A and B are shown apart, each in its own frame.
Chain A
Amino acid sequence: MEWLQQLINGISLGSIYALIALGYTMVYGIIKLINFAHGDVFMVGAFVGFYAIKGWGLGFFPALLFSMAFCAVFGVLIERIAYKRLRNATRIAALITAIGMSLLIEYGVIYARGAQPEAYPDNVLPSTTFNLFGAQINSQSLFILAVSLGLMIILQIIVHRTKVGKAMRAVSHDIDAARLMGINVDRTISYTFAIGSALAGAAGVIFGVYYTKIEPLMGIIPGLKAFVAAVLGGIGIIPGAMVGGLILGVVESIVSALGFSLWRDAAAFIILILILIFKPTGIFGKNTREKV
């Protein structure tokens, strides 16, 4: 039953991708910007969680909440400093700014604390292994899955049941019409960045607890893969990001299990290319006609 074990590993990894992908997809849905710095918010979240656990001796949940709050503020700051002026700029200018912000955060962190990796303490969560139909399953991966699912449910409630969520949906549907209806667009965009970045921060802490090792450039590859997950599910669509993340995680585990672990990173990009060629709008996407 090794397959079941790989499947559970894949779903745990996929739920981390999904949490990051949610931030990408929400931001893209609202201001049509690929926020390259999002993977680095994930990295910052992992480090904040690490210092909270190791330095202040907080438990898992307080550290998770602290990291989420920190990242929410950080995400809003990035948006206010760099992206706000670019609302009416060309897409290329916005994309390049996002790349610049990403590099700035990465190397700013390296400059501030050095490039050496850190290791999360391994007693943050109780770790027991138990047998399920012959598969060795770690309680940590189930716990992580539960936390991720909980966060996603909270997100769904925020988006569909609150006023802020309604404003977010309105702005992503038509930004000008939303402004005419009296919605404070700037504040809504800030909320979006705050929520997305908080999820990325949570993903960072979860990643740290699960994989132990964190370092300043760790955000690049998960960030890109989360973007792949967002595109896979249909960018701008929240359930799409969740499904895309889970699919990507499972595919990666299967590729590793088949003995091609060195090709694991390529698998994500091959999925990306295939989806872009055959269905660029993603699994849940609808085709829209281009108007001249």
Chain B
Amino acid sequence: MKKVTKFWLFLILAVVIYGIGQALIQTGILNAFYSNMLILMIINIILAVSLHLVIGITGQFSIGHAGFLAVGAYVSAIITMKFELPFVLAIIIGGIVAALAGLLVGIPTLRLRGDYLAIATLGFGEIIRIVFLNIEYVGGAAGMMVSNMTTWTSAFVCLVITILVISNFTNSRHGRACIAIRENEIAADAMGINTTFYKVAAFSIGSFFAGIAGGLFSHNFYIIQPTNFGFLKSFDILIFVVLGGLGSLSGSVIAAILLTVISTYLQQYPETRMIIYSVVLVVVMLYRPQGLMGTREITDFFGKKKSAKGGI
């Protein structure tokens, strides 16, 4: 019963936020600069939440997330630009192809642990980027022209679906299995959890939503180039998750919103932006390694119910 009310509350909140955003954009109170920032914010939130599933919930340290973003971006751009199919289809196919790529990358690499896994995902992210760099069909290094199709509505619908799926996954039996793997992989294995299956599953679900974000990303920026998806992009996504708190969905959402706003205002000063990012990253790790929210969710601050997700 309680879960059902929570669900409806979430939906009502989503509709309200959507309505406010739509009204502000329609009436022209927010100019193109700010509405673009809102769409960018949504893309970043989707990326943060999808990586949160991999790092925060399953505890698999992946730093090649931009590779799946690239897969989604290029595949959906090919579908709308070369095959001239509708945008919705492009986003879904982009997500599916990214999920397949995640499966392909995940099956061999997820046998590795900790540092080795991080480096292997980094390597795969770079390989994906270099592959796109060398395919003439998508423009190579010069990039590919994509027309602007992402709107506030389409982006927001994707965001709501992403958050619903990931939070439901987290609170399901499968999500608990993933949390068990994060806490102690050997113990989880001993309790009869198929660790490989769940790690690969979480990885490809994360990749799927990164692909969705990629579809929105490519149709928002007029041009996509392989350099957009280098590992600095992966670090950007990583910073959202780490700063928000490893294991907190609302934390990564908040961090994504905050950092998008900050980086939009610092757009003229890219060096300052990166220095601030890196100092924040180091200081947070030194003084508050669990991130801003730890493993708590924002809803935990309201009800008296203890967090069901288990702390550190």
- Give residues in A with beta carbon < 8 Å to B: 32, 34, 82, 85-86, 89-97, 99-104, 106-108, 110-111, 115, 224, 227-228, 231, 262-263, 265-266, 269-270, 272-273, 276-277, 280, 290, 292
Q: Is the CB of B127 within 8 A of A103?
A: no
Q: Are A276 and B134 in contact (CB under 8 A)?
A: no
The total of chain B residues at the interface (CB under 8 A) is: 39
Q: Which of B75-83, B165-173, B280-288 contacts A (4 or more CB under 8 A)?
A: B280-288
A sample of 25 inter-chain contacts (CB < 8 A) reads: A32-B115, A34-B115, A86-B285, A89-B285, A91-B61, A92-B55, A92-B246, A95-B115, A96-B242, A96-B281, A99-B281, A100-B282, A101-B282, A103-B281, A111-B272, A231-B116, A272-B119, A273-B109, A273-B120, A273-B123, A276-B116, A276-B119, A277-B108, A277-B109, A280-B116
Of all chain B residues, which has the CB nearest A227? B119
Given contacts A99-B235, A107-B275, A115-B271, 17 further A-B contacts (CB under 8 A): A86-B285, A91-B115, A92-B114, A96-B285, A100-B281, A101-B278, A103-B274, A107-B274, A224-B122, A263-B134, A265-B126, A266-B130, A270-B123, A272-B123, A273-B108, A273-B109, A292-B186
Given A99-B281, A104-B278, do A269 and B286 touch, yes or no (CB 8 Å)? no
Q: Is the CB of A95 within 8 A of B118?
A: yes
B112 at the binding interface (Cβ < 8 Å):
yes
**Shortest CB–CB separation between residue B83 and chain A, in angstroms?**
27
Q: How far is the CB of A183 from chain B (nearest CB, A)?
A: 25
B238 within 8 Å of A (CB atoms): yes
- Could you tell me if A270 and B119 are in contact, using CB atoms closer than 8 angstroms? no
Residue pairs across A and B with CB atoms within 8 Å: the count is 110
Nearest CB on B from A162, distance (A):
29
CB < 8 Å neighbour of B134 from A94, A96, A262, A292: A262
Residues from chain A with Cβ under 8 Å of B238 in the complex: 96, 99
Q: When A224-B122, A269-B123 are in contact, do A263 and B282 touch as well, CB less than 8 Å?
A: no
Docked Cα-Cα span, A100 to B122, in Å, equals 16
Asked if B131 CB lies within 8 Å of chain A CBs, one says: yes
- A93 partner, pick from B122, B133, B274, B289, beta carbons under 8 A: B289
B272–A104 CB distance below 8 A: no
| Interchain CA distance A276-B117 in the complex, whole Å | 9
Residues of A within 8 A of B272 (CB): 111
What separation, in Å, do the CA atoms of A101 and B272 have in the docked complex?
Answer: 15
Q: Are A97 and B286 in contact (CB under 8 A)?
A: yes
Given A99-B238, A280-B112, the answer on whether A266 and B126 have CB atoms closer than 8 Å is: yes
Closest to B232 in A: A103
Pick the residue among A96, A101, A108, A263 that contacts B130 (CB under 8 A): A263
* Contact (Cβ within 8 A) A104 B279: yes
Complexed CA–CA distance, A122 and B286 (Å): 44
A108–B282 Cα distance when bound, in Å, is 14
Residue of B nearest to A114 (CB): B271
Residue of B nearest to A220 (CB): B231
Q: Are the CB atoms of A91 and B275 closer together than 8 Å?
A: no
C-alpha gap A142/B118 in the complex (Å): 36
Write the nearest CB–CB distance from B196 to chain A, whole angstroms: 14
Residues in A neighbouring B63, C-beta threshold 8 A: 99
